[in-house]
Each structure stands twice: as structure tokens, then as C-alpha cells.
């Protein structure tokens, strides 16, 4: 990419069909908002990529999310919802002096990839285009704006479904809503838009006509995977996009040497890295950012909630939940256990039913439990944080541990066993 690059992301829509008080772009896939997936795909084009997000419905919540998670993002408010063209126009004052290329994308398309965006920008620059429309093809393109090209293969018009003739409806190439603009040449289009349509709105697609009328070069770049433009407008759309995303990533993992026993029942966030020869068993759900090393066994029925590291040759058993946990190599976390806010060494065995009690519901504080190398924790134990269990210590089964344990020590905390002879027999007789 030769020219400086910026992005404008449309995130002002309410998402009426979501039936939610939450702004549409803040609904989540694998614990990340839709807007976050789009921003991250764009940001990977350049490590200091600058974006402008158009906010509207739920503006405070969207702005708060962006301020907490993104350094090079500005926001601008679309006070009235007057169409996609009007939304982009709100960013014009912030790019008044800018003379590079601008990507325009929607904040509700979480499947969009950096690879496709890079292809769009490269095509735009290599062909000296002033406006490049990202297109894709569908066997059944119903509902999408069709792309009309001339003999030079230039884009001359985008025709919406409701305005399309029968012959135009046969066209399979459609508008994705993603564009790359030579900003210096195209920015005036947003000041000269007209809303002479039934809805009284300013349409972003009108920039094609404006560019053609002003003798600018308008081209189309075709995205190979039409799933990338899938937009979220309902809870059903959200579920479909989640399925697409996990299928795409699971395929990539398997191609790189990870065994997924049952891809249909397994969900893995694309932000999780997994080493080769690791096996993921059925009904495992992994969300957020995690690192799972080589030769591990995960599941079945495991839930990994984010910010977790699992070392080489470790095993996370069935019905185990991990959250904010760093686990070193050759460690076993056995079934029915919860490990949260923990640092666990290598060659550790955590018995079945062990609970890391990390949260104080009164103070709302979370504390860390540390298990050093070679620790063994007996089944059905509770480890109450903050806690430091030193190397080679042994925790007896069914213990509630509230104090640090020294190295090589046995720690136990349970009532002594009692036996009452013939108690059952006496009860039955009486």
C-alpha cells in the first residue's frame, strides 16, 4: 500500500430487529462486539491504522467500548439517521486535509477479513482508481444491489433490488457496502449528495454516479468469499455469523495440525491460537484470546473463557472451566473443576471437582491462586484466593485451603471421620 490509509466505519444503526436496548454493533460473537471484529480486521492493515466510527444509537456505550479498547479511533455523532451517505458525511470535517485512501465499511460485518481488505486496497492503487467498490457474487442475489459494468469493466451503476428490471435481477455480482476512495478526489461527493428518493435519505451508493459524472475512475474488486459481507440485523443473523466464523477457523486449525474430533459441536474463537497435535474433543467452547500449546488434550465439554494459556502436553478434562488462567506444561486439570485467576506450574495434578474460589462478592475483588510445580490437589477441594501453594505440596482430598502451603507439605482441612456402628440397622428396626 503506497498511500496513507484511513477508515470510516458505520456504527450508528439501532438494529431494530435485534429487539435489544444494546446498540447493534455491540452485540457479541465469541465475547467480542461486532464492531471490534471489523476494527481488528482493518487495524491489521497497519499497526497505527486510524479509523473514524460513526456513532448514533447508544452512542455513549459505543464510545465507551472504543475508548477502552482502541487507541487510534475517533468517533463522530450522526444525530439524525438520514442514510448511509449522510453517515459518512459526518466524517468529512475530520478528514479535511487528508489526501490518501479511505476504506468505508459497516460495523455489523464481523466476517470481513484483513486479506480481503488488503486485496481491495492493492487493487485500488494498482489500477489508479478513484473509487473502488468491493463486490461479490451470489447464486441467488435477491435483496442486494446489482453491479452494472461497461465494456471497459468499469462500474457504472449500482441498482437496488426494488429498482431492478428483470434482466438486471439476473446479474449475480452485488454491492458489498465496502469501498475504497481516493479521498482528495471523492470527498466532495458527500457535500453534493441529494435525497430525492421516497425515503428522503442520502445513499452511499450515489457516490458511484457522482464519480462517473465527474469523470473519475470507478472500478469493482470482487471478494471471493461472499460470506465475508454477511451483515447482522437479527439474532438469527448473529447465530449464522457465529457458525460461519467458527467453521472457517476450525478448518484453518485442522489444516495446521490440530485435531478437532467433532467440528459441528466445537466452537473456537479465531483469537485463540492452538499448537499442532493438540486434540479438541466434542462440545468444547473456547471464547476470547487464548494460547493452547502443542500436544494438549482439551475436553470434551470444556469451557475456556478467555485470557488463558495452556502449556504443552497439558490436559484440560471434561466439564472443566478456565478463566484468566496460565497453566504450564504437562499439567492435568481433571473433570468438573473451575480454575479462575490462577497461575499453575508444570506437572501439577488438579483433582476432580476442584474449585478455585477467586471472587469476593462483597468487595467485588478477584484474587489470584498460585500453584507451583509438582503440586497435587486432591478431589473436591476448594482453594480460596489469594493463595500460594509452593512446589511439591500435596492437598488432601475434600480440603478447603485458605492459607499458603509450604513446599513438600501436606495440607488438609476437613472434619475427622466418625463411624456409628449399626446405625442403619437400628433405624430400619425402629
Whole-number Å distance between alpha carbons of 316 and 392: 20
Residue 423 phi/psi, 5-degree rounding, is: -60, -45
**Which residue reads 500449546 in cell numbers?**
293
Residue recorded with cell 477502552: 68
404-to-28, 122, 325, 356, 384 alpha-carbon distances in Å: 39, 58, 19, 14, 10
Residues 6+ apart with CB under 8 A from 64: none
Separation of alpha carbons 365 and 392, rounded Å: 29
- Nearest CA among 124, 219, 222 for reference residue 176: 222
Rounded CA-CA distance 144/160 in Å is 6
Task: Provide the CA 70 distance to its chain's centre, in angstroms.
Answer: 14
Residues 41 and 119: beta-carbon distance below 8 Å: no
Pairing, β 173-182 against β 101-106: antiparallel
Nearest one of 252, 251, 279 to 263, comparing CA atoms = 251
Say whether 335 is catalytic: yes
Give dist(CA 259, CA 275) in Å, integer. Answer: 10
CB environment 14-53: b (16+ within 10 A), e (fewer): ebeebeeebbbbbbbbbebbbbbbbbbbbbebeeebbbbb
Distance of CA 186 to the CA centre of its chain: 32
- 27, 62 contact by CB (below 8 A): no
Q: State the catalytic residue, choosing from 27, 96, 335, 391.
A: 335
Cell of 107: 460495523
CA distance 202 to 209: 13
Q: How far apart are CA 328 and CA 348, in angstroms?
A: 8
Cα gap 104→88, rounded to integer Å: 8
Give the catalytic positions in this structure. Answer: 335
Amino acid at each position: 500500500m503506497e498511500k496513507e490509509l484511513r477508515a470510516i466505519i458505520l456504527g450508528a444503526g439501532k438494529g431494530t430487529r435485534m429487539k435489544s436496548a444494546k446498540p447493534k454493533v455491540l452485540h457479541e460473537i465469541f465475547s467480542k462486539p461486532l464492531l471490534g471484529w471489523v476494527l481488528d480486521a482493518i487495524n491489521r492493515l497497519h499497526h497505527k491504522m486510524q479509523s473514524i466510527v460513526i456513532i448514533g444509537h447508544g452512542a455513549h456505550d459505543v464510545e465507551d467500548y472504543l475508548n477502552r479498547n482502541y487507541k487510534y479511533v475517533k468517533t463522530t455523532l450522526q444525530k439524525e439517521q438520514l442514510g448511509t451517505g449522510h453517515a459518512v458525511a459526518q466524517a468529512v470535517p475530520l478528514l479535511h486535509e487528508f489526501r490518501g485512501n479511505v476504506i468505508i465499511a459497516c460495523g455489523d460485518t464481523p466476517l470481513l477479513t484483513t486479506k480481503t481488505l488488503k486485496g481491495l486496497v492493492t487493487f485500488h492503487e494498482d489500477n489508479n482508481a478513484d473509487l473502488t467498490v468491493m463486490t461479490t457474487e451470489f447464486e441467488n442475489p435477491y435483496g442486494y444491489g446489482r453491479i452494472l459494468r461497461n465494456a471497459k469493466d468499469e462500474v457504472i451503476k449500482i441498482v437496488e433490488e426494488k429498482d431492478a428490471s428483470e434482466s438486471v435481477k439476473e446479474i449475480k455480482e452485488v454491492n458489498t457496502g465496502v469501498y475504497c476512495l481516493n479521498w482528495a478526489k471523492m470527498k466532495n461527493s458527500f457535500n453534493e449528495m441529494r435525497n430525492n428518493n421516497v425515503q428522503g435519505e442520502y445513499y452511499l451508493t450515489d457516490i458511484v454516479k457522482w464519480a462517473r459524472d465527474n469523470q473519475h475512475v470507478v472500478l469493482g474488486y470482487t471478494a471471493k468469499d461472499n460470506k465475508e459481507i454477511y451483515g447482522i440485523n437479527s439474532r438469527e443473523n448473529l447465530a449464522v455469523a457465529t457458525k460461519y466464523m467458527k467453521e472457517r477457523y476450525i478448518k484453518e486449525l485442522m489444516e495446521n495440525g490440530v485435531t478437532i474430533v467433532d467440528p459441528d459441536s466445537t466452537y473456537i474463537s479465531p483469537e485463540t491460537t492452538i499448537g499442532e497435535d493438540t486434540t479438541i474433543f466434542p462440545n468444547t467452547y473456547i471464547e476470547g484470546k487464548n494460547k493452547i500449546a502443542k500436544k494438549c488434550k482439551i475436553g470434551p465439554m470444556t469451557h475456556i473463557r478467555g485470557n488463558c494459556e495452556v502449556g504443552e502436553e497439558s490436559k484440560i478434562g471434561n466439564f472443566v472451566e478456565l478463566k484468566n488462567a496460565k497453566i504450564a506444561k504437562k499439567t492435568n486439570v481433571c473433570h468438573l473443576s473451575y480454575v479462575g485467576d490462577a497461575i499453575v506450574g508444570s506437572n501439577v495434578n488438579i483433582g476432580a471437582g476442584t474449585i478455585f474460589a477467586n471472587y469476593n462478592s462483597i468487595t467485588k475483588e478477584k484474587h489470584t491462586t498460585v500453584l507451583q510445580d509438582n503440586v497435587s490437589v486432591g478431589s473436591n477441594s476448594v482453594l480460596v484466593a489469594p493463595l500460594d501453594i509452593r512446589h511439591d505440596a500435596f492437598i488432601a482430598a475434600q480440603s478447603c485451603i485458605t492459607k499458603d502451603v509450604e513446599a513438600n507439605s501436606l495440607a488438609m482441612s476437613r472434619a475427622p471421620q466418625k463411624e456409628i456402628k449399626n446405625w442403619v440397622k437400628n433405624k430400619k428396626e425402629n
